[in-house]
Amino acid sequence: MKLYEFQGKEIFKKYGIPVQSGFLIHAKDNGKDLTPPLVLKSQVLVGGRGKAGGIKIWDGSTDASKIINDLFALTIQGEKVKAILALEKVDILREIYLSITFNRGKSTPVLIVGTSGGMDIEESARLNKEKIYFVEIDPFLGILEYQIRFVAKKLNIDNYLEFKNIIRAVYKIFKEYDATLVEINPLAITPGGFVAIDAKVNLDDQSRFRHEELFNKLREEKEFIQDKKEAHASKPKEDTITYVSLSGDIGVISDGAGTGLFTLDLINEYGGKVANFCEMGGITNSEVMLKSLKMVASDQSVKSILVVLIGGFNRMDDMAEGILKFKKELNKDIPIFIRMCGTKEEIGKELMKKANIPVYDSLNIAVKKAVKKAMEN
């Protein structure tokens, strides 16, 4: 779960990381008493907000409501602005980049600092515009003093004690919230000390079972400012289904990500176009099969459905049951092509045979048939 800046900053405050004082403006609010100067920041979850014009400074010389209305009219990378964070303006002497995340290649937490923060950390890292340092953290030992001293030296930090406390706090948040990313970009050095100008906190949905209350609270805050549709998308998943909508006419369901990807490549090779793709996860059941078929079939552009099953964990008797339920409930005639093999395949195939549903053993043949059918229709 990605958090909004205002949510991240609430957490920062609790852990003693200095942030600007400020308040949230909702689209529903009208005419708050504002005192200049203020930094007005659109609250969106996508990146590139600054470049898209989502951050404005109000110095009092113009009408604040005009700026606010302009911001609320913005859509940044498909995301509508529904809330604005109004913050006191601070004088910035220098900006640095600071984050803790996971180094995926090495399966370890990593502290990343950069000599100049700002909007384009990825780009400037690529172009070598600034120096970036990576410090791997032992997940049992946590971040060590000498590691902080190292980055403080590299960044030419004067106020070491304050800097150390911020890094310790960032790591503490990273651990205690089961975060996958805690990022301050930029961390400003001001005449009054450090200030976290931005806050990006991503939480691990897989850790939900130990943060039930926290996740619910954060989600409620998000839903308060979001569209119904977006709020729905951020709801916790009750199953392992991954659904991706594309632009062709073949619906694809697989019970493994690798074979799913491979099937998409094969369809492409045979000249077919995929309308949508549903990956059920390796451990699934008849209800998930039924739900996946319904999701795929609900897309009006789907002319044929290809179900690719190769069960290890996944049981073919369960899958057959789901397919039969779907056939019973379905009121339109979409041809379904099923490749079924693996765990309990004898029972699964027998069930399909009894219901007169053809099952293929070869992936190639099933893919070819589904592509051909979609082209005919």
Partner 1 sequence: MSILINKNTKVLVLGITGKSGRLQTEIMKRYGTNIVAGVTPGKGGKEVEGVPVYDFVKEAVNNHEIDVAISFVPPPYAKDSCIEVTENSIKFLVLTTEQIPEHDVVQIIKYAENKGARILGPGSAGLISPGKCKLGVHPPNMYKEGHIGVVSKSGALSYEVGKTLTENGIGQSTVVAIGGGPFWGLTQLNIIKLFQEDDDTKMIVLLGEIGGTMEEETAKFIKKEVDKPVISLIVGSSAPKGKSLGHAGAIIEGDLGTAKSKINALREAGAYIAKNHMDIVEQIRKIEGK
* CA 85 to mean position of chain CA atoms: 22
Closest to partner 1 by CB, 104 or 235: 104
Closest to partner 1 by CB, 279 or 321: 279
C-beta of 207: minimal distance to partner 1 in Å?
4
Closest to partner 1 by CB, 72 or 102: 102
C-beta of 248: minimal distance to partner 1 in Å?
10
d(CA 236, CA 216) in angstroms, rounded, equals 10
C-beta of 23: minimal distance to partner 1 in Å?
33
Collapsed DSSP state (helix, strand, coil) of residue 101: strand
Closest to partner 1 by CB, 146 or 209: 209
**Is 324:294 a contact under the CB 8 Å cutoff?**
no
CA-derived radius of gyration, the chain: 26
d(CA 321, CA 351) in angstroms, rounded, equals 8
C-beta of 305: minimal distance to partner 1 in Å?
17
Closest to partner 1 by CB, 144 or 283: 283
d(CA 306, CA 339) in angstroms, rounded, equals 8
Closest to partner 1 by CB, 132 or 341: 341
Distance set, CA 9 to CA 13, 17, 22, 169, 176 (Å) = 6, 8, 10, 12, 15
C-beta of 272: minimal distance to partner 1 in Å?
10
C-beta of 240: minimal distance to partner 1 in Å?
8
Collapsed DSSP state (helix, strand, coil) of residue 218: helix
d(CA 196, CA 96) in angstroms, rounded, equals 10
Applying CB under 8 A, the residues found at the interface with partner 1 are 102, 104-105, 107-109, 122, 138-140, 175, 178, 180, 204, 206-207, 209-210, 240, 242, 244, 246, 254-262, 264-269, 274, 277, 279, 281-283, 310-313, 315, 341-343, 345, 363-364
C-beta of 241: minimal distance to partner 1 in Å?
9
N-term to C-term CA, the chain: 41
Q: How many CB atoms lie within 10 A of CB 264?
A: 19
C-beta of 163: minimal distance to partner 1 in Å?
24
C-beta of 170: minimal distance to partner 1 in Å?
15
Closest to partner 1 by CB, 187 or 305: 305
Q: Provide the token pair at 96.
A: 């640095």
Closest to partner 1 by CB, 5 or 279: 279
Helix ranges (DSSP H) in the chain: 5-14, 64-72, 121-126, 145-154, 160-176, 212-225, 228-233, 257-269, 286-297, 316-329, 345-354, 363-376
Helix ranges (DSSP H) in 212-297: 212-225, 228-233, 257-269, 286-297
Closest to partner 1 by CB, 71 or 340: 340
